Amino acid sequence: MKNKLESRYLDENELADLGIASVGKNVRVSEDAIIIGLENISLGSNIRIDSYNVILSKRGKFVVGNNVHIEPSSSIVTHFGVEIGNFCTISHGSRLYTASANYSGDYFTNVFPEAKYQVPKTGQIILEDHVMIGGNCVIMPGVTLGEGAAIGALSFIRKSVEGWAIYGGNPLKRLGDRKKTIKDIANSFENPI
């Protein structure tokens, strides 16, 4: 008997029927996710986007590679573009913002009275291949996480980081190196002999 409380996932065929820009194979998106701007979203293959995620892509592109998991309750605001590489994970409750209000006091921080009185910080976010974002992290505009970067839970990322390292905290600090074994494993099943 099917559990009526369990979330149902839309597959690639249902997403195509709804008007997604492009979608690969073995894609599952929870019907409990809120996604705005399907026409600006391109998903590769082997992707799962879980319940209660909010993806706002009405004004910018959201491009996701292959073998990506976006765990529940994250928010991704793609006004200035978000690219996620292959073999990436975004853990529970993380936030990716491509625009952030200017808090200096020289400008308003909300949509009223008019947009001309706002000067937000903006920029594309790029997660290169094999990036791991821990739970409840915040990534600010204009950040690139290099291939293989791993970000520990509860971290605040406002500057780009180099790949194959582990980072954590606020302010963000490099904690050590990350092994590249996962890259070899991924290559072995992407390019079987």
pLDDT tens by residue, 9-66: 999 999 999 999 999 999 999 999 999 999 999 999 999 999 999 999 999 999 999 9
Question: Domain segments of the chain: what residues?
Answer: 22-190
Residue 14 falls in which region: left (phi positive, over 0), alpha (psi -120 to 50) or beta: alpha
Distance (Å) of CA 59 to CA 20, 141, 193? 14, 15, 42
d(CA 64, CA 68): 7
Alpha helices in the chain (DSSP H): 12-18, 181-190
pLDDT computed for residue 114 by the predictor: 79
| Cβ atoms within 10 Å, residue 80 | 18
pLDDT tens by residue, 72-125: 999 999 999 999 999 999 999 999 999 998 888 888 887 777 778 888 899 999
In 3-state terms, what secondary structure has residue 48?
A: strand
Q: What is the model's pTM?
A: 0.93
pLDDT computed for residue 129 by the predictor: 98
pLDDT computed for residue 118 by the predictor: 84
Res. 150: pLDDT tops 80: yes
Mean pLDDT, the chain, integer:
94
Res. 178: pLDDT tops 80: yes
End-to-end CA distance of the chain: 41
Contact 145, 165 (CB under 8 A): no
- Which CATH architecture is the domain 22-190 placed in? 3 Solenoid (2.160)
